Amino acid sequence: MRSLLVVVSLFAICGFSAHPPDRLGTLEIVIEPRFSGRALVLGNQLYRSSTGDSLYMDACRFYLCSVQLKGKNGVFAEKESYHLVDAEEPASQIIVLKNVPAGRYQSLCFQVGTDSLTNIAGAMGGDLDPTRGMYWAWNTGYINVKMEGRSNSCPTRQHAFEFHIGGYMPPHQTVRNIELPLKNAVLRNNRTTIVRINADLSQFFSRVSLTQTHSVMIPSRTAVQLADYFKAVFSVHP
């Protein structure tokens, strides 16, 4: 009888600690490229920065990796978390996290860029495929952020600007950690919760004078500074 009670007790403990399969939800993260609060339009939309530069955006891509959710009950981390967000591809702007423990989460964390281990491993497939145009070489690694466009402020051929921000080796490391507070992120059983993240490029260009800075194509001190500026573009949509 005593051994039976022990078995029952152990079963009850295991059942309590295991996470029931119906206590899992889905989080859909929608990245919304913007400029001064408006949806970003590539190619033919003229924008004006707070520094006085008028510009057109022709391309905007960046890696969003190591996605995590933090809550009172712990941390949920996405496995194989590498996403290439492209302003030209709406499908790339949606990141779906499945089988997330239900509950309330206080913050969304991610990295802008690929970590050093990924760079050392060399070019891979999927969003890390070098044919996506975001890989330099083994010694310089991946481009974390790529922005291209035109502005009369640029003293370059065809007034073009090119910001290819990357670098994983000291002192030119450009991966940046982001943590955004979540107010209403409650995941419920077998349901999908949507969180919208603004990526407002005007926050980047408000810190850059295109007359002075208009071409970054290799890991450098300037690339490190621009990576710091790019952190400011992210916010949770109200």
Cα separation of 132 and 150, whole Å?
A: 22
Reference 112, options 213, 231, 16, 12; nearest CA is 231
Does residue 179 register a pLDDT over 90? Answer: yes
Indicate the pLDDT class of residue 9, thresholds 50, 70 and 90.
very low
pLDDT for 180? 98
- What secondary structure does DSSP assign to 130-189, as a single string? GGGS-EEETTTEEEEEEEEEE-TT--SGGGEEEEEEE--STT----EEEEEEEEEEEE-T
Indicate the pLDDT class of residue 22, thresholds 50, 70 and 90.
low
Average pLDDT rounded to a whole number, residues 1-25: 48
Return the minimum-mean-pLDDT range out of 12-26, 202-216, 217-231. Answer: 12-26
Residues 32 and 199: beta-carbon distance below 8 Å: yes
Note the pLDDT tens digit of each residue in 57-75: 999 999 999 999 999 889 9
Mean pLDDT across the chain:
90
Cα separation of 216 and 65, whole Å?
A: 22
In 3-state terms the chain splits into helix, strand, coil percentages (rounded to 5) of 25, 45, 30
Does residue 16 register a pLDDT over 70? Answer: no
Note the pLDDT tens digit of each residue in 109-168: 999 999 988 988 877 899 999 999 999 988 899 999 999 999 999 999 899 999 999 999
